[in-house]
């Protein structure tokens, strides 16, 4: 089985994440995408003060009933900060026969040189990079013989930051993220301030 690992803060999950995950799943012939909500963002401060449990619950709602998608608790159940290498090795143990692909944004690729144990990471997974609107396709990078592939993904200009901002101001977020996630946000009163 070919599995795509798609990590993120998902604060909240939105159609930018979902459209890209689905396009990459199809274009790279992956059987499954595992969404991995992070517990503590290592590289950025968490806005909105929404607990990991809620971000996880929203991701579950977003892909409910879709057999090609799973949401992993692997990072939210871990104490303290998570590094990608730890997550990948746990998923490797859970799916020993599978080919693992790590899906990252161009923003993450830019910091890749400073990632923990990147050489070990590169020998466990193949990397698929997706471009975000406003970011150039980076030049091919030398990953010591490991292939990094760039997705031809559509540029969907939606961000969690924009969604939080709109929610705070009482503006509509319909069609930016799934209705069931919007209903959950309203019911729980998330991102109101």
- Name residues contacting ligand ATP, limited to 123-152 (CB under 6 A): 130, 132
Assess 105 for contact with ligand ATP (CB under 6 A): yes
Which residues sit opposite 7 in a β-bridge?
36
Q: Out of 104, 121, 177, 182, point to the residue binding ligand ATP (CB under 6 A).
A: 104
Q: Give 43: exposed, middle or buried? Use CB within 10 Å, 0-12, 13-18, 19+.
A: exposed
Instruction: Tell me whether residue 72 or residue 108 sits nearer to ligand ATP (CB atom).
Output: 108
Smallest distance from ligand ATP to CB 96, Å: 26
Strand order in the sheet with 126-130: 69-71, 32-37, 2-8, 99-105, 126-130, 148-150
Q: Which is nearer to ligand ATP, 134 or 145 (CB)?
A: 134
Query: Which listed residue (3, 4, 5, 16) binds ligand ATP by CB under 6 A?
Result: 16
Only segment of 68-76, 93-101, 112-120, 159-167 that touches ligand ATP (CB under 6 A): 159-167
Contact residues toward ligand ATP (CB under 6 A) are 8-11, 16-17, 20, 104-105, 107-108, 130, 132, 156, 158-161
């Amino acid at each position: 089985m070919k599995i795509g690992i798609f990590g993120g803060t998902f604060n909240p999950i939105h159609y930018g994440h979902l459209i890209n995950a689905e396009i990459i799943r199809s274009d790279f012939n992956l059987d499954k995408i595992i969404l991995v909500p992070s517990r503590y963002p290592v590289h950025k401060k968490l806005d909105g003060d929404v607990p990991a449990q809620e971000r996880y619950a929203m991701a579950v709602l977003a892909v409910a009933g879709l057999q090609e998608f799973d949401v992993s608790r692997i990072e939210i159940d871990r104490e303290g900060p998570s590094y990608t290498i730890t997550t990948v090795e746990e998923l490797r143990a859970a799916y020993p026969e599978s080919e693992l692909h790590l899906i990252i944004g161009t923003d993450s690729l830019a910091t890749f040189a400073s990632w923990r144990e990147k050489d070990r990471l590169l020998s466990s997974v193949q990397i698929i990079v997706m471009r975000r609107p406003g970011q150039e396709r980076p030049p091919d990078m030398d990953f010591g013989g490991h292939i990094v592939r760039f997705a031809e993904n559509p540029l969907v200009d939606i961000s969690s930051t924009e969604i939080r901002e709109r929610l705070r101001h009482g503006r509509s977020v319909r069609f930016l993220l799934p209705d069931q996630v919007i209903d959950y946000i309203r019911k729980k009163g998330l991102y109101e301030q």
